[in-house]
Homo-oligomer: A and B are copies of this chain.
Amino acid sequence: MERKQMSPLEELRHSTAHILAAAVLRLWPDTRLDIGPPTDTGFYYDFDSSTRFTPEDLEKIEAEMNNIIRENQAFVRSEVTREEAIAYFTDRNQPYKVSRVGDIPAGEPISFYQNGEFIDLCAGTHLRYTKQVKAFKLLSIAGAYHRGDEKNAQLQRIYGTAFPSKTELQEYLTMMEEARKRDHRKIGKEMGLFTFDTDQVGPGLPLWLPKGTAMVEELERLAKETEFAAGYQRVRTPHLAKESLYLTSGHLPYYKESMYPPMEFEEDEGGEKVKYYLKAMNCPHHHKIFDAEPRSYRDLPLRLAEYGACYRYEKSGELMGLMRVRSMQMNDAHIYCTEDQFGQEFRAVNEMYLKYFEIFGIKKYLMRLSTHDPEKLGQKFVDEPVLWKKTEEMVRRVLVESGINFVEVPNEAAFYGPKIDVQVWSAIGREFTLATNQVDFAVPARFGLVYTTRENTRETPLCIHRAPLGTHERFIGFLIEHFAGDFPMWLAPEQVRVLAITDEQSEYANHINQSLRQAGFRSTSDHHKDNIGGKIRRGRMDRVPYLLIIGNKEVESGTVTVRSRLNGEEGAFYFDSFMERLHGERSQRKLTVQL
């Protein structure tokens, strides 16, 4: 039972979900229904049926749904008493619906929505008629537990989507088809970027293969250069700490379920048992580094950066490629600053985002600024009314002044300060949550962090948590889809491949390859027994940005014939001038790719 005011698109999709349930009941009248809410990209409905739905069943259901739409049934709301609702669903052998009635708090209205013969427990809202559904599609069937709990019955979830027009639906389906082709797990395997060893290493713990590691290290180099220029200082901290640290930070007990369980041992033989936890976040360790020496206003802003590996426990069923993992390496930093410095620091963080978007050819993004609700100070939000107002005002101003695309979401800030979620869209138009910026009023105080002011008083600094490149795992997952594996040269695992036309030129080809490697380029040379056509095909398939073709003509003239992924056959260049071009493209991190 969904209780939020729905947007027009949600209303459309939720109504389509009702039509889906009605169609399933017509086809399999003994089906028991659970719930059918809209989602970000469509809708689903959960069914308990003795029939195991097949893809062919989806076609049958779609046909029946089209009947219902043609019948142009009205959606009619009615209010019932709790007893009526329970009696209605009990009579019809709908135990999940009975259970859902129990979720509705006493005093709230209980409403039914009816279209044709179908009645659902539902808070609404809905379309007026079924014919308003003009473009829908059922997409897939998956298992789902009642109330998401593995202890409950497993249901069959049918996913679908609906759009206001057939054109929009078709665009979405095309995008999803393209997303399937660009699936990061598929391309990651083809390109040898990463692997999992579920049996012996463990699920959700990626092993980065040499080619994936090359990308990870390029991203780190980018971040380190960018952060050095922006006055960050790098630190390194261990991957674990005593329970005590996480009690101070508040991760224990509030975040305990997302952490690996502790390692427990006697610190000294016969001594007390101590628990150590793997770190799920880098903040507590960075706070310790802030606190490692006395700080004065002269030290601020202090910007501590670390590509820290964090470990979080996710249920194995919820793991998904690089997108949902248990180990992740974050492009993390914490900026400790005074209130006066906050605006400028926050602006600089935003500018860093925009710079990265440009480097990666990310054209569409959105920042969601979550703010506090003044009526919930002291409960949902830390009781610092002046600081909230001031900080949110500054954040808002900076976002506007920097021309940042953002929306404001009231009442969704974190307990300890406003936060900014950054959404980006891949080249094919799919949305990803990249990272969160977080202003933190509260935790520095929990750690007793202070600095001496110019007036020799002691103040608690503000702290900005930021991670513009997110985690290696998620960001590379995104980049694989975004570029379909055709990464810009600076980032590509294999940047150049040298192809000799015959064995005659292999010495010169090796020399070219070695020169490239000495200049730090990830170059190889193709030694397969194969004609040049085969070698070029393999180079394209392996997504190498530059293929250098070496025949007798090239050997004689000291040239290379360049075949680039972006422009195809480009003709012959003196090797030195080609190297110069490569150096330029690498140091400027040119996109060298069609998006």
Contact flag A268-B311 (CB < 8 Å), given A192-B293, A240-B202: no
CB pair B245 A285 closer than 8 Å: no
A217 close to B (CB within 8 Å): yes
Contact flag A276-B260 (CB < 8 Å), given A150-B270, A234-B210: yes
Q: Which of the candidate stretches A43-51, A117-125, A313-321 sits at the interface with the other chain?
A: A313-321
A294 close to B (CB within 8 Å): no
CB pair B228 A517 closer than 8 Å: yes
CB pair A315 B234 closer than 8 Å: no
| Least CB distance, A526 to chain B, in whole angstroms | 12
A582 close to B (CB within 8 Å): no
A contact residues, total (Cβ < 8 Å): 69
Q: Pick from B240, B284, B289, B327: contact of A238, CB below 8 A.
A: B327
The residue in chain B whose Cβ has the minimal distance to the Cβ of A214 is: B234
CB pair A260 B261 closer than 8 Å: no
A267 close to B (CB within 8 Å): yes
Q: Which of the candidate stretches A29-37, A193-201, A405-413 sits at the interface with the other chain?
A: A193-201
CB pair A261 B265 closer than 8 Å: yes
| Interchain CA distance A236-B217 in the complex, whole Å | 10
| Interchain CA distance A195-B242 in the complex, whole Å | 16
| Interchain CA distance A46-B311 in the complex, whole Å | 46
**Which applies to chain A's interface (DSSP): helix, strand, loop or mixed?**
mixed
A264 close to B (CB within 8 Å): yes
Contact flag A244-B309 (CB < 8 Å), given A229-B517, A261-B264, A517-B228: no
| Least CB distance, A344 to chain B, in whole angstroms | 17
A444 close to B (CB within 8 Å): no
| Least CB distance, A196 to chain B, in whole angstroms | 9
| Least CB distance, A190 to chain B, in whole angstroms | 12
| Interchain CA distance A237-B245 in the complex, whole Å | 26
A288 close to B (CB within 8 Å): yes
CB pair A197 B288 closer than 8 Å: yes
On chain B, the residues within 8 Å of A289 by CB distance are 195, 207, 209
A239 close to B (CB within 8 Å): yes
Chain A, 134-149, CB within 8 A of any chain B CB: none
CB pair B201 A245 closer than 8 Å: yes
Interface residues of A (CB under 8 A from B): 150-151, 192, 195, 197, 199-203, 205-210, 212-214, 216-217, 224-225, 228-229, 233-242, 244-245, 248, 260-265, 267-270, 274, 276, 278, 284-285, 288-289, 292-293, 304, 309, 311, 313, 315-317, 327, 329, 517-518, 520
Starting from the known contacts A200-B248, A207-B285, A263-B263, 7 additional A-B residue pairs (CB-CB under 8 Å) come to A150-B269, A201-B237, A201-B238, A207-B236, A210-B233, A240-B260, A263-B278
